[in-house]
Each structure stands twice: as structure tokens, then as C-alpha cells.
Structure 1
Amino acid sequence: MPSRHIFHHQGEVAKEIFFLLEGICHAVYFTDKGKEFSKQFYWENDWIIGFESLVNQTPSPYQLESLTPCSIMSLPIETLRTWRKNK
């Protein structure tokens, strides 16, 4: 994906987990006044998981964005649940 690509928007419920193969990403949140704060940076070989949103199925307070060109694998949580149920 190109740099500055948003692959998860603030306020969306997380439905997948990501593995960063190449590049740099960050989790960012915006205040009501539009001020941007970086919460966390992700580097190659990092897992990117909106854990609380994923587990509780609640809107994520964070936006996920690539800062450089990136290669990312995504795994839908439903695929993981199905695999776990059938193993």
C-alpha cells in the first residue's frame, strides 16, 4: 500500500488483525478539535491489533495509517474464529 494510506478509520469496529511485512505504520487518534496524536508506531514484523475493539466489538478510538509504502497481511477475525471452532 502507498504511504499515508488509511487502512482502518477511527470509530470503526475492528474486524481483522494485521501483520506488517514491510514499512512503517502508526496508530493515531484525533481529538474533537481535530488535533492529531500518534499513539504507537509499528515496524516491520509487528502485529497490528486493535485488541479492545476486536474483542469487545466496539468502535476503535484509533486510526491506522501507513507512513511509508507498506506490505501488510490481514487476517479477518471471523476466519480465525472459524479455524479455532473447527480445530
Structure 2
Amino acid sequence: MESNNKIFLESVKKLCPQVSDDELSQFASKLSFEELNKKDFFLQCEKVQKSIGFIAEGLVRSSFTDKNGNEITVGFYAEGDYATHYASFLVQQPSKYSIQCLEPTTMVCLSYADLQWIYKNLPGFEKYGRLVAEEILKRQQARIESFIFQTAEERYLDFIKSHSDLFNRISVSQLCSFLGIERQSLTRIRQKLAHK
């Protein structure tokens, strides 16, 4: 736990170098840990996300079920990422997404109530909240725009470039769902790229 806590606090310090050691210590006192097994849910659809989760170890997948009952993958988050449906977390409303572990995962968690306490009592951390929110917004915007402006092949190439470390950790069906393509389309794209 100690090393996971240290990893998280170092990432916070990098975002907010101006915070004092005392403030960081008070911030750390509000953190909790969650040990999850493969297939466990960090967040279930229709539930309110009570805590934001920083992945110290492991891999999770964010998804929703469409009106035809198909499970659609919207994101993969590994070590160093935040696992959150941020809109649900911010307004404390039920989420439309589930976040499920693809591997045994350790989360460093900060509850909504504790985050509000931190903003009120440790103002240096408001920058932390803003930067995390900006990062999540950028990620969501990039995801939306990939479906508007890119072909399936371009989305696949982007995924290879940005997430090469995830290839052996996710299934082909999960990758296809994330890219918004059928398995045979992915096979065709891979064959085409292999012959370039």
C-alpha cells in the first residue's frame, strides 16, 4: 500500500508542485485503497460514483450497454490513469457507464466529500482538481472526434501508437468494441497494414 500511495502522491506533486509537505500529508490522510479482482466492478451502471479512483496497479475498462443489449467499450485505463465517470462523480448522479477490472487492480480512492473538504481547506489542491478535469475532458473530446474525423484504420493506428502496452492485456472483441468495428474489419485492417 505504501508504494501505491507514494506513486499517487508523486503524481499529485507533479501536477501541483506548489503544495507544501504538510498540505500533501493532510491530502494523503483522506485517501483510501481498494483492492479489486479481475471482473470486479469499480463502478456499476446506474450507481453514483462516490469516489474518484487512481489506478496504482492494474487495468480497467469503461463501457455501457446499448439499447440492443451490446456492451460498448469506451475506454481502457491502466496504471497512472484515473478511473472515473467524471460527470457522475461531480454531480453525484447515477452513471451511464460501468468500470470493470480486466486484471487485479489497486485503486487509490478519494471520496467526493473528502475532495470537497480538500478544496475548502487546502486551496492549493484546486489546481489539482482542475488539471485532472481538463485531462479527462481532453480524453473524452479526442474519443468523440476520432469517430467524427477518422476512419476505422486511423483509429486503430492511433490506438497502436498511444496504447501499444495494452495489446496483450485486452481481448480482440474489447478492442473491436472500442474502435467501433466488427472483428472481420479489424482482420482486414491488420492484413492491409501487414502488406504495406
Q: Same fold (TM over 0.5)?
A: yes
Q: Deviations over 1:53-83 (max 9, x none)?
A: 1222221110011001111111111011012
RMSD of equivalent CA atoms: 1.2
Higher strand share: 1
Please identify the structure whose Cα radius of gyration is greater: 2
Greater relative contact order (Cα 8 A, min sep 6): structure 1 or 2?
Answer: 1
Q: Deviations over 1:24-79 (max 9, x none)?
A: 10101112332111110001110122111122222111001100111111111101
Per the TM alignment, residue 9 of structure 1 is displaced from its structure 2 partner at its CA by 0.6
The structure 1 segments of at least 4 consecutive aligned residues displaced by more than 4 Å after TM superposition are: none
1:21-40, aligned counterparts within 5 Å? 21-40=56-75
Instruction: Using structure 2 for the length normalisation, give the TM-score.
Output: 0.42
Higher helix share: 2
Task: Work out whether 1:52 is the aligned partner of 2:87.
Answer: yes
1:1-87, aligned counterparts within 5 Å? 1-87=36-122
What SS does the corresponding residue of 2:103 show, helix, strand or coil?
Answer: coil
Aligned-pair identity (%): 28
Number of equivalent positions: 87
